[in-house]
Structure 1
């Protein structure tokens, strides 16, 4: 089966620096790499609510580049530093844009993520309808 690498224009910098694809499409399935709350120039956003909103915006950008939306997500995994401290804020940001109850979701607490200051990372699988 053919693979298509998905690289939104807004994420070309991360591809050149880190060497991975934001998403890979195989058939009608899109595998989205973990998205975090940072700016286009890869600066970590310090304010937790803004960082979490940026995660969803970055995820939306990748899905859009694959001709998908949040409604196409079937499975999601989120990784959290200090999960109990930030989960309420994280859920609030998620619920502002992401449909409820339409996907399988696993939350995992971790000691750290790829860069200091990151509080969460979200990866997902979407199936294009």
Structure 2
């Protein structure tokens, strides 16, 4: 089996080490990004829901950038919500400022009962641009 090509953003937050996971794994031209939450650098959650969602998107952008990708390269999204009935409209308002123009990626939203102290999590699969793949492993 080939060694995992782990991707981490430059400002790697504490949760990666505490929970022992990679921010993303690159496999060929695909990037599998672990669930990103609205954590501060020390791993604690943003207390205000909308700020937590914004921070989760910021953390996601940092992981994508570390692989040479942007949200435009995202093809599939799964988001997790602890209280979708009361949070969904507020999440959609933040999402509208984050994801750009159509065509939108495929998106599945899932209601869950536990996110380790967080209320929102987002994970994606992206296709890494050819230029970023050409420079992978160099540097």
Normalised TM-score (structure 2): 0.85
Provide the C-alpha distance between the structure 1 equivalents of 2:104 and 2:12, rounded to a whole number of angstroms: 27
| Number of equivalenced pairs | 127
Seen in structure 2, the aligned counterparts of structure 1 residues 101 and 86 have a Cα distance that, compared at 3 Å, is farther
> Could you list the per-position Cα deviations for residues 28-55 of structure 1 after superposition, in whole angstroms to 9, with x for gaps in the alignment?
1000000001101111111011111001
C-alpha contact (below 8 Å) 1:49/1:93 kept by paired residues: yes
For the aligned residue pairs, the C-alpha RMSD in angstroms reads 1.4
> Could you list the per-position Cα deviations for residues 69-127 of structure 1 after superposition, in whole angstroms to 9, with x for gaps in the alignment?
00000000001011010111101111111124421100001112122xx1111000000
Once superposed, which parts of structure 1, at least 4 consecutive aligned residues long, lie more than 3 Å away? Answer: none
Structure whose residues are more often strand by fraction: 1
C-alpha contact (below 8 Å) 2:13/2:41 kept by paired residues: no
Q: Which residue does the alignment assign to 1:59?
A: 60
Larger radius of gyration between Structure 1 and Structure 2: 2
Listed as ranges, the gaps of 5+ residues in structure 2 are 130-139
Q: Which residue does the alignment assign to 2:108?
A: 106
Normalised TM-score (structure 1): 0.92
Listed as ranges, the gaps of 5+ residues in structure 1 are none
Q: Which residue does the alignment assign to 2:46?
A: 45
